[in-house]
Amino acid sequence: MNLSLSGELGLIAFLSKRLKIGDDCAYIPFQGKTLLLTVDTSAEGIHFDQSFLSPHEIGYRSLACAISDIAAMAGSPLYALIALSIRETADLEFIDSLYSGMEGAASDFSAEIVGGDTIYGEKLVISVTIVGEAERPVLRSGAKEGELIGVTGSLGGARRGLILLKEDVAGHENLKKRYISPVPRIEEGKRLSSYVSSMIDISDGLLIDLYRLSEASKKGMQIEKERIPIETGATLEDALSGGDDYELLFTIPSEHREKIEGLGGHIIGRVIEAKGIFLDGEKVEPKGYDHFNREV
Amino acid sequence: MNLSLSGELGLIAFLSKRLKIGDDCAYIPFQGKTLLLTVDTSAEGIHFDQSFLSPHEIGYRSLACAISDIAAMAGSPLYALIALSIRETADLEFIDSLYSGMEGAASDFSAEIVGGDTIYGEKLVISVTIVGEAERPVLRSGAKEGELIGVTGSLGGARRGLILLKEDVAGHENLKKRYISPVPRIEEGKRLSSYVSSMIDISDGLLIDLYRLSEASKKGMQIEKERIPIETGATLEDALSGGDDYELLFTIPSEHREKIEGLGGHIIGRVIEAKGIFLDGEKVEPKGYDHFNREV
């Protein structure tokens, strides 16, 4: 092993290499189709907080967030497996509510929960495996110089909603809903799949996920502040650095510009040769990059 | 929800119903094949102990045990996804060794690790999802009255090995190996699949897993002590109630008796009409049944 690796950056690089992960899902040719496989783990105190999320909401989010990895590769979710670590003090009502949330998301996004495994642990940890399929899986690595950078929907709402939930502010239901009930952009991903050259879902923030596209494609990304679609009630900072929006971020040849608008999406910039992320011409470092507690 | 459910028995019944699990894997027709999906979670302090298992051994076991669920349904493993919760104090050497163990098992049993997700947690928890395929998947539910009950290999070695490891007794490497390096019976499962009527892997103990076949098939199971193949150095009790052997337990019409012997397996009893598990004619309750910390 490479002993020069150290600390969290080394760890994530090491794990990524070990797990050979460069996309949102593993994609595998199988019987004439492409199977997509992804696992997403969320833990109490890191990824969710029971003080402002009900068990039903925690269950719903865990499945919806995992399904977004399938959407990010232009796939459709098919099956889910749930590995659960629950507190010994959890009662049936809690577990019933948690599962109802998972089943709600499975039903909303046309997946089927087919199995699971449950153990007792010191805190609630949920690992969701999704098996999906794709006609034309889209990777992170295909962006080419001169292409447009596009995004579905609007950004920053989930981060602003999370802040409002944490601070127990009344109202602003539209923002809170962005955090509580994420909507994986499955249909949008599939419609875009014939045109886009690279794609990712915005789980950790626009700048971070743009950085991932940039690294995978070995291209630079130039975006303009005034083009970024900010959710009503959110700030530019929420949109740039807030995660949990689960919109799709993609690159697309400029002749397909109208496909973005047809989805209600927005063009926010252009793929450039110079490496790095540029905001209004200025190179920026992705902020809030969580080196470990995210999918590697 | 059914409020008459209470305690652990209620919880496992509830989860099983919720997760619709009656077999070792979910099985799904897909493009003319049957996909098998299973997730298996193991945790430090419950399923393994770092005081006598190296990180490499923990990694190896976690994958091998999950793959055994595929063997239990007469399938072949194809892909693995790893969800890992590791202590913040874990170093690269520890993680490298853990992954080497997983990769060793993946290589030994012809599976490929295609992805994963890692978070920090208070203890080591490993969830392994295996995607496999089967030509003729075998369920737990097909046993018919008058059929023979068969088992591959010999039993009790893993339990005896675990006791020796816990007590730090020198020697007895064959027994310790049964615990440390389980061998999922993939080839045996596939060879049996044309003949057997029901099958399961012995993960929790002969009596418990026989009870599961019995419950799923709605038939009784009569076995004879003297026919049980006991691993050299282990006891009858180890063979009856010890888990972790990962041999296959199955029912088979008597005309296929020679198929069992062809595999080096043993006939240990017969499927009967009267419900329950009978040992030398006496009804027994499966001992050591772990109502929660096992796959439901």
Which domain CATH number covers B239? 3.90.650.10
Asked whether residue B14 carries a pLDDT value surpassing 80, the answer given is no
- Asked if the C-beta of A287 comes within 8 angstroms of chain B's C-beta atoms, the answer is no
β-strands A277-279, A220-223: how paired?
parallel
Query: In terms of C-beta density within 10 A (0-12 exposed, 13-18 middle, 19 or more buried), how is residue B281 classed?
Result: exposed
Contact A25, A37 (CB under 8 A): yes
Interface contact flag, A14 B92, Cβ < 8 Å: yes
**Helix (H), strand (E) counts: chain B:** 9, 12
Tabulate helix, strand, coil % of chain B (nearest 5). Answer: 35, 25, 40
Handedness of CA A53, A59, A62, A67 (dihedral sign): negative
| Domain assignment present for B31 | yes
The pLDDT tens digits for A233-248 are 999 999 999 999 999 9
Q: Are B118 and B177 contained in the same domain?
A: no
Last residue of a domain, one of B134, B156, B186: B134
Q: In terms of CA atoms, which chain B residue is nearest residue A124? A: B121
* Helix, strand, or coil (residue B287): coil
Question: Using a CB-CB distance cutoff of 8 angstroms, which residues of chain B are in contact with residue A38?
Answer: 81, 115
Indicate the residue of A21, A41, A78 with minimum beta-carbon distance to B119.
A41
- A232-246, B37-51, B87-101: which is most confident: A232-246
What is the rounded average pLDDT for all residues in chain B? 89
| Domain assignment present for B143 | no
If pLDDT is split at 50, 70 and 90, which confidence band does A294 have?
very low
The pLDDT tens digits for B265-286 are 999 999 999 999 999 999 998 7
Helix A173-180 vs helix A55-71: crossing angle, to nearest 10: 70
- What number of C-beta contacts closer than 8 Å exist between A and B? 182
Distance CA(B145)–CA(B150), nearest Å, equals 14
pLDDT of residue B9: 45
Retrieve residue B21's tokens: 């699990």
CATH of the domain at B83: 3.30.1330.10
pLDDT of residue B289: 46
Least confident residue range of A63-72, A92-101, B6-15, B193-202 = B6-15
Question: Using a CB-CB distance cutoff of 8 angstroms, which residues of chain A are in contact with residue B20?
Answer: 113-115
Asked whether residue A102 carries a pLDDT value surpassing 90, the answer given is yes
pLDDT of residue A295: 37
- Those of residues 7-66 in B touching chain A at CB distance below 8 A are 10-11, 14-15, 18-21, 25-26, 28, 30-33, 35, 37-43, 46-47
To probe the interface with A, which of B129, B292, B294, B296 has the most A CB atoms within 10 Å? Answer: B129
- Asked if the C-beta of B1 comes within 8 angstroms of chain A's C-beta atoms, the answer is yes
Indicate the residue of B40, B46, B117 with minimum beta-carbon distance to A39.
B117
pLDDT of residue A40: 93
Question: Using a CB-CB distance cutoff of 8 angstroms, which residues of chain B are in contact with residue A85?
Answer: 41, 43, 125
| Domain assignment present for B62 | yes
Q: Are A154 and A240 contained in the same domain?
A: yes
Asked whether residue B294 carries a pLDDT value surpassing 80, the answer given is no
Mean pLDDT confidence for B46-75? 94
Interface contact flag, A31 B31, Cβ < 8 Å: yes
pLDDT of residue B21: 56
Distance CA(A195)–CA(A266), nearest Å, equals 15
Asked whether residue A291 carries a pLDDT value surpassing 70, the answer given is no
What's the domain count of chain A?
2
Asked whether residue A163 carries a pLDDT value surpassing 90, the answer given is yes
Length reported for chain A: 296
Contact A132, A75 (CB under 8 A): yes
Query: Which of A58, A201, A202, A82 has its CA nearest to residue A130?
Result: A82
| Domain assignment present for B293 | no
- Asked if the C-beta of A107 comes within 8 angstroms of chain B's C-beta atoms, the answer is no
Residues ≥6 apart with Cβ < 8 Å to B116? A15, A19, A21, A39, A296, B81, B82, B83, B84
Could you give the angle at the alpha carbon of B24 between the alpha carbons of B204 and B201, nearest 5°?
Answer: 45
Q: Are A119 and A226 contained in the same domain?
A: no
pLDDT of residue A19: 56
Last residue of a domain, one of B103, B134, B165: B134
Length reported for chain B: 296
pLDDT of residue B190: 97
Mean pLDDT confidence for B196-224? 96
Q: Are A83 and A14 contained in the same domain?
A: yes
Interface contact flag, A120 B82, Cβ < 8 Å: no
- The percent of residues above 90 in pLDDT, for chain B, comes to 74
Question: Using a CB-CB distance cutoff of 8 angstroms, which residues of chain A are in contact with residue B37?
Answer: 79, 81, 114-115, 129, 131
Query: Which of A46, A191, A205 has its CA nearest to residue A126?
Result: A46
Mean pLDDT confidence for B190-200? 97
Q: Cα(first)–Cα(last) distance of chain B, in Å?
A: 19
Retrieve residue A243's tokens: 């995660």
* Helix, strand, or coil (residue A103): helix
- Those of residues 192-251 in B touching chain A at CB distance below 8 A are none
Question: Using a CB-CB distance cutoff of 8 angstroms, which residues of chain B are in contact with residue A43?
Answer: 85, 119, 121
Q: Are B114 and B157 contained in the same domain?
A: no
Distance CA(B71)–CA(B63), nearest Å, equals 13
Q: Are A156 and A255 contained in the same domain?
A: yes
Q: Are A161 and A109 contained in the same domain?
A: no
Asked whether residue A7 carries a pLDDT value surpassing 50, the answer given is no
Last residue of a domain, one of A104, A134, A164: A134
Q: Are B127 and B220 contained in the same domain?
A: no
Q: In terms of CA atoms, which chain B residue is nearest residue A290? A: B119
Least confident residue range of A40-44, B183-187, B291-295 = B291-295
Query: Which residue type is seen at A242?
Result: G
Contact A72, A199 (CB under 8 A): yes
- Please give the ipTM for the structure prediction: 0.87
| Domain assignment present for B295 | no
Domain of residue A189 covers 148-284
Distance CA(B76)–CA(B74), nearest Å, equals 7
- Asked if the C-beta of A5 comes within 8 angstroms of chain B's C-beta atoms, the answer is yes
Indicate the residue of A43, A46, A96 with minimum beta-carbon distance to B1.
A96
Q: Are A113 and A193 contained in the same domain?
A: no
pLDDT of residue B123: 87
| Domain assignment present for A118 | yes
Question: Using a CB-CB distance cutoff of 8 angstroms, which residues of chain A are in contact with residue B96?
Answer: 1, 14, 18
Distance CA(A1)–CA(A5), nearest Å, equals 9
Q: Are A169 and A121 contained in the same domain?
A: no
Neighbours of A138 (CB within 10 A): 28
pLDDT of residue B2: 31
Helix A7-19 vs helix B92-108: crossing angle, to nearest 10: 10
Query: Which residue type is seen at A86?
Result: I
Helix B173-180 vs helix B55-71: crossing angle, to nearest 10: 70
The pLDDT tens digits for A73-85 are 999 999 999 999 9
Q: Please tell me the distance in Å from B111's CA to the nearest CA on chain A.
A: 13
pLDDT of residue B17: 59
Mean pLDDT confidence for A131-156? 96
| Domain assignment present for A293 | no
Q: Are A49 and A77 contained in the same domain?
A: yes
Asked whether residue B4 carries a pLDDT value surpassing 60, the answer given is no
Retrieve residue B289's tokens: 């049944």
* Helix, strand, or coil (residue A199): strand
Q: Are B22 and B71 contained in the same domain?
A: yes
If pLDDT is split at 50, 70 and 90, which confidence band does A230 have?
very high
Mean pLDDT confidence for B147-169? 97
Mean pLDDT confidence for A1-16? 46
pLDDT of residue A2: 32
The pLDDT tens digits for A28-62 are 998 888 999 999 999 888 888 888 999 999 999 99
If pLDDT is split at 50, 70 and 90, which confidence band does B23 have?
confident
Question: Using a CB-CB distance cutoff of 8 angstroms, which residues of chain B are in contact with residue A31?
Answer: 30-33
| Domain assignment present for B234 | yes
Query: Which residue type is seen at B200?
Result: I
